[in-house]
Amino acid sequence: MTDTHADMRAETATDNRRTFLQTIGLAATATGLVGTAAGESDSDESTTDGSDADLVSISHGVAVGDVTATTAVVWARAADEATIHVAYSPDQSFDRVGYDRTTVDAETDNTGQLRLEGLESNTRYRYHVWATAGETAYRLQDDRRGDSKGRGPKRSDRDDDHPGKGRGPRKRPGEGDRDDGGSIDDAIPEAVESGTFVTAPAPDDEAAVSFAWSGDTWGYGDDPVEPPFPGLETIAERDPDFFLYHGDTIYADALTPAGKITEDTPIDEALEIYRGKYKEMRDPPSEVAERTNLLELLETTSVYTVWDDHEVINNFAGPIEPLMPEGRRAFREYWPLDRDDDAEPGESNRFYDSFRWGKHVELFVLDTRQYRDPNVDLDSKTLLGREQLEWLKGALADSDATWKLLASPAPLGYPSDSWATEADRTGYEAELLEVVEHVQTEPISNLVVVAGDVHKSVVSAYDPDDDGEFEFFEAVAGPLGAPAGEPDDLYPALNPTEFFAKGEYRNFATVDVDESGETLTIGVYDEHGTEQFEKTIRTDDIDAAADPERPDRIESAFDDDAEGWLVSQNGGSNRPVYYGSGGNSGGHIGDAENQGGVAWYYQAPFEYLGDREAFYGGTLSFDLRQEPTDRQFDAEPVEGGDVLLQSGDLKLVYEFRGVDDNPGEEWTSYEVPLSADATWIDVTSSEPLATEERFREVLADLEVLRIRGEYRSGDDTSYLDNVVLTK
């Protein structure tokens, strides 16, 4: 009796699979496919029940990522060692089909990725994924495919048979497609997962492009936000061309059912925790939630995935983080990535790349974690690493896309632990300056930064050289599932203009570029899809080109605001106080310090920095006031003396000589010669005084200009006005 029922179940499964394979135009080419049960397994995830006896279940949905005009990567995870198969077609009725397969095992936690090639641009594809216990292969059925030998869909010779002229109807998996009243879906076994995605328009195709982005999901702080995440479902309902999953896709260092990564986690245990985090993000434990909505989103569109810190551990710096290789390996295993031709499990390093979407859009994806120096008090630090930085500069300069979309996990203009850090933790700002200078001098047209990380939504624009023209716009979105705080001020050294800022809610944002390429619209939405803000940018709203006639005078009179100046090496603040009156004359800035320690400084904004070699032989002048004026001291040159000029590790220091040269309670004016003929100390050379060659070298790539604010031991208050740099 039992054997009879087993035979019936096997026959039912065989019929189900035969119908499915025949419907999509595939036939088995290996013996043992039909009617063969799955092998013995130690995994309780394996599917060996009566309906799909020889199939291994796809355990955590499917995904497509890193899509181009002609390629895409399909991701899936089997419940056990298996062969994963994918069939795909640009025709909703699957009259034209492509096929590929790969084997998976415990080496990659049974995850696999298949690179589809020869796709048609600007076309909606549908795909089906399933797994078998043996190394089964399929071939295109001759009666439906003629003599097609390749894996990709065979193009029709007749134009009216060619649906690839457009994207076609946007139908979701499971919707009926066949005109004869039947449906491919009627033949799909339960163990088969399905999805859709859109290929990118060709680089010369004038096509509209729409995408959404956000990040930061599940497990953060003492009161984590748990699934489901409505924002993921809302994004899926909008049906974007693609979704940019912008960092902190898991919180490895927050407690969830999969565990928690800490600094004390043994390296040989970390990989399984990381893997568990990705699995629960797709399929959470039933006691937590029925779903996260991530599977539903990944079934309906493609994804470009970016990592940030919580894929490994909070605020990590890759080169010194022992857990980074394991976190990187799990990230690569669980996302469809196509950014490194030499990718191997646990070894490949490259996550940065660019992706073209038609004539008007190119997306530049950055990795701000893997190569960064630790965020400690260093004179100069790298965020991207020199190789990635040079790639970015070259790729931006070479792009002829109308709009350049820079996907940076952390904002360029909103203070965080990345690009724009606190003024007394300098270093990354030097790399930011290098990027901004490159944008100006190339120039890079129509640059828009899309970012996450800071758990607020912000839309802003920046004019770092204060010439009245924006060099770039920036939009920040998130979180989707983590707690959110109130917005902070933008980074003043970049001369920002803020259009919108909101915190304390979960959100995502969108970019829509019209078919002509003339406009780009940024939309910000709460997790339920209610619009919070919209900003349309035109190509003439951004002019990154630097003035061909370099200025011979740069001035801060502080008549309207603090003009981007910061305070460094002050334990109590990093932004000066602005005073609208009482200056010499008009407005001025000031600050106070009551913590003792080394001298603190006023730090110049980006307007003063960059290539300033032309100012050699000129002067730096400013007015200072101090109160009270007793207990004054001389700052050590290594701290910065009275004026500091810095380029990388090169530091030049100028000191006022004598007690009478210290500022008084009335405004005191200073004029500092920018010449080796004056007594400038070279604190990074064996020669005590700066040479002209060294001086010009520093000015040619000036990264830091500081003016001493503290002259008194103990509590002090200082004021600054009328800073002028002249040739």
pLDDT tens digits, 87-115: 999 987 888 899 999 999 999 999 999 99
Is a pLDDT exceeding 80 seen at residue 146?
no
At 21-40, the pLDDT tens digits run 888 889 877 533 333 333 33
Phi first, then psi: what are they for 674, rounded to 5°?
-95, 70
pTM listed for this prediction: 0.90
**Rg of the chain in Å (alpha carbons):** 30
**401/357 Cα distance (integer angstroms):** 9
At 193-211, the pLDDT tens digits run 999 999 999 999 999 999 9
Is a pLDDT exceeding 50 seen at residue 4?
no
Report DSSP state, residue 613. G
- Residues with Cβ within 8 Å of 211's Cβ and at least 6 positions away in sequence, in order, are 240, 241, 242, 243, 244, 510, 511
pLDDT mean across residues, the chain: 87
Supply the pLDDT for residue 461. Answer: 98
Is a pLDDT exceeding 70 seen at residue 348?
no
Supply the pLDDT for residue 658. Answer: 65
**What percent helix, strand, coil does the chain show, rounded to 5?**
20, 30, 50
**273/256 Cα distance (integer angstroms):** 10
Is a pLDDT exceeding 80 seen at residue 231?
yes
Supply the pLDDT for residue 156. Answer: 34
Average pLDDT of the residues in 473-487: 95
Is residue 625 within 8 A of residue 664, CB to CB? The reply is yes
Average pLDDT of the residues in 481-485: 91
**420/431 Cα distance (integer angstroms):** 10
Tokens read off for 344: 């191997």
Q: Could you tell me what percent of the chain has a pLDDT over 90?
A: 70
Phi first, then psi: what are they for 143, rounded to 5°?
-75, -10
Average pLDDT of the residues in 334-346: 82
Is a pLDDT exceeding 50 seen at residue 151?
no
Supply the pLDDT for residue 569. Answer: 83
Packed helices 386-398 and 428-441: angle between N→C axes, nearest 10 degrees: 20
Supply the pLDDT for residue 596. Answer: 67
Alpha helix positions (H), 220-315? 230-238, 267-282, 294-300
